[in-house]
Chains A and B, each alone.
Chain A
């Protein structure tokens, strides 16, 4: 079993749809949870950063962490064609670089 699992997609949705992207993990020591977005031929960019459990909202994006289920989600409301990208979850035990791991990424396509 991989440490972090993520459905690779591709996930295709119509413009305006609510998108749900998910990751599951096995290491219960993870405390920090991130979502990065990567456009084709570009480096990843940080979208959301959360510590421990709970929800965090930023504009059209909501990150949700359920540590009891070892499950994190990213919701995108009113999806736009410009949201078409690969979404990578990432998590770590601390803020010092140890046990930092990325999920394999989900490719999202938002169709106009």
Chain B
């Protein structure tokens, strides 16, 4: 089944404790991206990657890092999480940037 898999789906952590949310796709897509979704603010793009060679910041990259060492994986790294990073996170992939397949989401709470 064609899909984008995110892990963990739910995570509660404490301020400052580094964490990684993994994202993997099995559709051989070049494009991958990360979003956060907050009530009243909608989906906002954190980072995107056109291919293994190219990664760029989205609208809200502060406090996040990404890595695209291979086509199928695009992990989101929070080096020192803070409470304002409590959110619902989505990874997506696509043959291009507009036609996206989303993962099921990862709900992160930072205490």
Contacts and interface: CB of A to CB of B under 8 A. Distances in A.
A49 B98 contact: yes
Contacts of A34: 98-99
Nearest to B48: A97
Contacts of B45: 100-101
A32 B97 CA distance: 10
A102 interface: yes
B103 A43 contact: yes
A46 B94 CA distance: 11
A43 B105 contact: yes
Contacts of B42: 88, 102-105
Contacts of B101: 45-46
A48 B35 CA distance: 20
Contacts, number: 60
B76 interface: no
Given A88-B43, A100-B45, A42 B105 contact: yes
A100 B43 contact: no
A109 interface: no
Nearest to B45: A100
Contacts of B40: 104
Given A97-B48, A103-B42, A105-B42, A92 B102 contact: no
Given A97-B48, A102-B42, A44 B90 contact: yes
Interface of A: 32, 34, 36, 41-46, 49, 88, 90, 92, 94-98, 100-105
17 contacts: A32-B98, A34-B99, A42-B104, A44-B43, A44-B100, A45-B101, A46-B99, A88-B42, A94-B97, A95-B96, A95-B98, A96-B97, A97-B33, A97-B50, A97-B56, A101-B59, A104-B42
Interface of B: 4, 31, 33, 35, 40-45, 48, 50, 56, 58-59, 90, 92, 96-105
